Structure 1
């Protein structure tokens, strides 16, 4: 009998020893931050019908007690590890569990993260895994919320192939052993609720890959990030103060866009050429744009990016407005002030590629998660960047959510989507053998096509007053055709053909322009096949291309006259307008992102003249519906004489219905042409409302008729005509009196 008792005692002792050894091994695993499922061990776990065990792992703690019914129940520390344990009655300790922690130099009370229920929304995760979660930013990232009656911060990240994931930050000494997260295998998502308001705190995710490599990543859904070159995410809340979408984005509206790079529009000279902040930008940019008369501001990419030289086109924090100019609330207030002034806001959006910075999306969980694994599909040779895997459902949810984020949460009026052509074609910038055909053997990227259609259908479905704009440089059919008609569903497309052809023409010496007349007329062959924007963007004034004024031929006077006449042609041509900053006053220097525009030039009459012309063009453009109401219809345009190559004169009518007409006449030679005959629609008299050669614009002031009688003489297919003087290198607008 005694032997049997001793045998049982030995078994009990051995069982306790084994359990302690297992706990010790798990404690060491927690210390190494390679514990596979911390929630299965930490927190409160039932032993039997009567008892439960509470465990916590708190590195550096000297003593830990459980707070229960105003009592402190001391936990036992396992050897010298950070693991503390307490066996209690099942109903003794309510959840969530509050701990009293003594670090030696301070004593704090915290709730045990592993005693909270999951914060995950199963329905949202289902949509995320299906590729249809349109507002993922509300579920992923860091959010200060109230959970089970306690205010704290929820962290959620998608990393299906990681062995373990921890939240690290300046609130836990960047120690990966402090907050290992809960894994949800069905969705591939990790989450944890920390019962502290961590607003403003910096954080990252520490991931252990399937190959036991430790990597640290910024949060893909972070709404704020550190100022580069620092790379941490920052806990921030969604802004609440944006203005509603404006009703000024329709096809029959006047849209004149001023494109801006916030980092170089104007610098703070008094502070060593530093950036203006969002408040200063609002104070200076808004009245400037209002004075010029533009309807919209388009911001070059504002999602956080590490390299200034990328101008934002290689973003790392897609949901974080760049901290170069202030925090997320300052950005939201900046946008709100622009909207309140009656100006629409567009932003550049970059879903086509992302850089390989170590803290970014590349190899996010140790695998090709966001990018396509096949380099022939996942690597962009032009920019040394990664290409999203558009066929992966979760990547689609990520990009779809980002598109809705800017529109819904900041009141942004529209997205100009960068490099759409690079998304559409599998062989974009690739040689034979460097790309993989689609399932039908074609070059079309079917995943990217369906994603763009999905995004456009979703954002227009949520708010028909927004606008999406494609920078698409090929003849892809139906870019602005509705998705239910097999189009891509964009609102507008940049007219790259017009831009290239017209700039090639205007750069030529007027002596040779008669041989290239079709470069200015060809755009009208296809002008109504899409809803177009005419862009003179940043791309045309960098990389040795020179500024717009320095593209012009001739002496200094002719350069300015050419540019003024060209602007007059552009504002009369079918299509909405876009002009990059500096073009409005004919900046000499090519754009440099590290320096401010040359504002001193506005003190010179010829530059001020161009500025005044842009003001006048925008004013006339908005004043006469003929310029914009029928931009996407051939009924809104008629050539008077598009074939006068010998004299390099173009003349046409813009109209909106029968009652609203504007005649545009462009003389692209330096010759003065007197008694120039031109057929016109029926009218008694015409008045001149614009002459780009006017003295107020810096022109020669050649005397021209401002009140023009109609002659009963047929010409150019019209029953009536006019006779007038054409100033050198000048564009005229005439309207019926």
Structure 2
């Protein structure tokens, strides 16, 4: 009676001891639980064994019967007759060894987690019967069941077996790709929790079900081998101009379309040619891990192992990445290991206890985002996160991970007041556990995928973020230069008449430009939440706003460091970004916006084709100031150099609307300089002020250089002169 009560109330934690075949020396007993059954027959397909009927203990609801010992080990099927219907299925509880196989090697390497846990498509028995093996970590649960359409979401029918490692396992035969499922979990006191999506689910549905779906990662056939082989070059010496995109609002379907979003396929058809034409080297996607709330832009992920189904299935996302690679475009995704939301179907209090998050809210609750913080000291959580990083590089051929909110992970007092945080063992504010996790993640990424990259969004002066772990660093490949972004935007937002008083803002970044491997970001965060658009930040009248933006873009592409610009900036989007609507592409009907777009396009192509602008991005040898003291005229000038001095580019930025027809510029050698790009050109919507197209050096010392040239410097413009 006690056994039946456990089964009837879905509180059974060891179903293999109660159900399935149970052998003695002379007989084999088979037990089955089907609360709706009137009778159950056992058969051994493709054998000569006669069917047997299981008897029902009417007070217990448990069917049982004896089978010949000669049937031991043979796969049997149960045929169930109910009041309304008859159906057959292969009994899951005869596959104990196959179920337990999931946990044999699960903790020996981080990548084993996504190879073993979740819903894995396998075959069982000698005749390769298709099946799905479920494995979920819920160490403090009293009972866990797999539920789905296949069992009418009835938690009594497929109880899972708890293992000594805290994982629950079960193999269900004939359950194939596409089936929806969740886990019914009861906490340590037996209370049923909201149904949970699979933390390792490879595919997921949107609201209202938020169900996980069985998915086959081995089916997709990649066609990007050429790209994957060639991406192994030295990224620090290569051009990297990143187009940051929110897939849901880059473009929207036509007004009369029934779909809310473009699909992955539609994005591949439209976005990739645009990125290629504009000259960007990489796409960076705001988080694609499944997330429930559109307004989070993906930064509140729940399904860390599933690309969002808003735009299509996992194969469609693979197709998008594949198409990018075939077009010569790298794909970076934003990755969020810092925190996760409290949605009932997600990770929060997964088995009724704090499985994934710190228990103490002073460490486990993020006040800025009202979300849970991962417990970076717990080995199972660490493996979960490192495995997830490897997963995207492995299964989706992602080229890089931009790790979100690194600063919030590094510091225990991040966004907290006195008394709201717990010091580390040394009394400090550094989160040693998070630091250790980030180092491990980077080590694993570069060990398995040395041709990929990791990029830290880190806004503090934490040392050696982009230095190897063996040198005491965090191990990232690159770090966002938030200081450059803050200072340069503060400067460019000033009216040109006042910029002379803030000259240090535009030059200070070179004090630390080579301390890290920097990416210069103008990201989505700068054009949302009341910050306005990039064009709107610029002072002056309509013409001066556009000229300021073009001049600033030129400065950015000339400055050491890789480049990142958020979508819409490249054509001067006038309004602040709204995640719920497409960009204002109709602005390109106007010359001003078309000219801004042409500026970014020309800058991208110049940057990519000019070694001096990218080969030594992270070395003092690639940069030299000519004049950074000219605050009175708000002009800066510098030289960028290629390896071994094979090429030089002289750059002058005039941050006022005053032209200088006889501007002298120091140069390092005899010869001629050719104008490669002028952001004031008529082709970009500029004033087309008469500018020197070619200048020959004279033996007149200037800017501490032995030679100099005289050029005509246009207003509010950046000019690039290249040595022959």
TM over 0.5: yes
Whether the 8 Å contact between 2:286 and 2:297 is mirrored in structure 1 is yes
| Counterpart selection for 2:700 from 683, 700, 713 | 713
| Residue matched to 2:250 | 265
| Counterpart selection for 1:726 from 689, 713, 722 | 713
Shift of 1:63: 1.8
| Counterpart selection for 1:443 from 413, 420, 429 | 429
Whether the 8 Å contact between 1:354 and 1:386 is mirrored in structure 2 is yes
Q: How does 1:213-252 map onto structure 2 within 5 Å?
A: 213-215=191-193, 216-239=195-218, 240-242=220-222, 243-244=224-225, 245=228, 246-247=231-232, 250-252=235-237
| Residue matched to 1:50 | 26
Q: Aligned partners of 1:146 and 1:576: how far apart in 2?
A: 48
| Residue matched to 2:77 | 98
| Residue matched to 2:488 | 502
Q: Aligned partners of 1:250 and 1:45: how far apart in 2?
A: 60
Q: Does 1:116 align with 2:95?
A: yes
Q: How does 1:91-170 map onto structure 2 within 5 Å?
A: 91-119=70-98, 125=104, 128=107, 132-149=109-126, 150-170=129-149
Shift of 1:627: 0.7
Alignment TM-score, normalising by the size of structure 2: 0.96
Could you say what secondary structure the match of 2:446 adopts? Answer: helix
Could you say what secondary structure the match of 1:578 adopts? Answer: strand
Q: Does 1:664 align with 2:667?
A: no
| Counterpart selection for 1:207 from 185, 188, 193 | 185
| Residue matched to 2:64 | 85
Whether the 8 Å contact between 1:241 and 1:336 is mirrored in structure 2 is no
Q: How does 1:242-391 map onto structure 2 within 5 Å?
A: 242=222, 243-244=224-225, 245=228, 246-247=231-232, 250-269=235-254, 270-271=256-257, 274-391=260-377
- More divergent stretch after superposition (238-247 vs 372-381): 238-247
Whether the 8 Å contact between 2:204 and 2:309 is mirrored in structure 1 is yes
| Residue matched to 2:43 | 67
Q: Does 1:676 align with 2:660?
A: no
- More divergent stretch after superposition (605-614 vs 264-273): 264-273
Give the number of the structure whose alpha-carbon radius of gyration is greater.
1
Q: How does 1:578-727 map onto structure 2 within 5 Å?
A: 578-656=564-642, 657-727=644-714
Shift of 1:645: 0.4
- More divergent stretch after superposition (404-413 vs 54-63): 54-63
Could you say what secondary structure the match of 1:274 adopts? Answer: coil
Q: Aligned partners of 2:723 and 2:67: how far apart in 1?
A: 92
Could you say what secondary structure the match of 1:271 adopts? Answer: coil
Q: Does 1:511 align with 2:497?
A: yes
Shift of 1:112: 1.0
Structure 1 stretches (4+) deviating beyond 4 angstroms?
120-127
Could you say what secondary structure the match of 2:136 adopts? Answer: strand
Whether the 8 Å contact between 1:241 and 1:332 is mirrored in structure 2 is no
Q: Aligned partners of 1:622 and 1:482: how far apart in 2?
A: 27
Q: Aligned partners of 1:94 and 1:556: how far apart in 2?
A: 81
Q: CA 1:93–1:125 in 2, change beyond 3 Å: closer, same or farther?
A: closer
Q: Does 1:37 align with 2:14?
A: yes
Alignment TM-score, normalising by the size of structure 1: 0.94
Q: Aligned partners of 1:555 and 1:542: how far apart in 2?
A: 22
Deviations along 1:76-106, one digit per CA (max 9) or x if unpaired, are 1221664211023433454433222223544
Q: Aligned partners of 1:495 and 1:241: how far apart in 2?
A: 38
Q: Aligned partners of 1:97 and 1:70: how far apart in 2?
A: 10
Shift of 1:71: 2.0
Q: Aligned partners of 1:276 and 1:249: how far apart in 2?
A: 35
- Unaligned runs of 5+ residues in structure 1 are 1-23
| Residue matched to 1:545 | 531
- Unaligned runs of 5+ residues in structure 2 are none
Deviations along 1:153-172, one digit per CA (max 9) or x if unpaired, are 11110111111110000110
Shift of 1:126: 5.5
Whether the 8 Å contact between 1:135 and 1:405 is mirrored in structure 2 is no
Shift of 1:70: 4.3
Shift of 1:228: 2.6
| Residue matched to 1:25 | 2
Work out the number of aligned pairs and report it: 710
Deviations along 1:260-315, one digit per CA (max 9) or x if unpaired, are 00000000023157100111000000000001000000000000000000000000
Whether the 8 Å contact between 1:347 and 1:412 is mirrored in structure 2 is yes
| Residue matched to 1:415 | 401
Q: Aligned partners of 2:668 and 2:61: how far apart in 1?
A: 89
Whether the 8 Å contact between 1:44 and 1:115 is mirrored in structure 2 is yes
Could you say what secondary structure the match of 2:236 adopts? Answer: coil
Q: Does 1:193 align with 2:162?
A: no
Q: Aligned partners of 1:396 and 1:707: how far apart in 2?
A: 58
Whether the 8 Å contact between 2:106 and 2:112 is mirrored in structure 1 is no
Shift of 1:415: 0.2
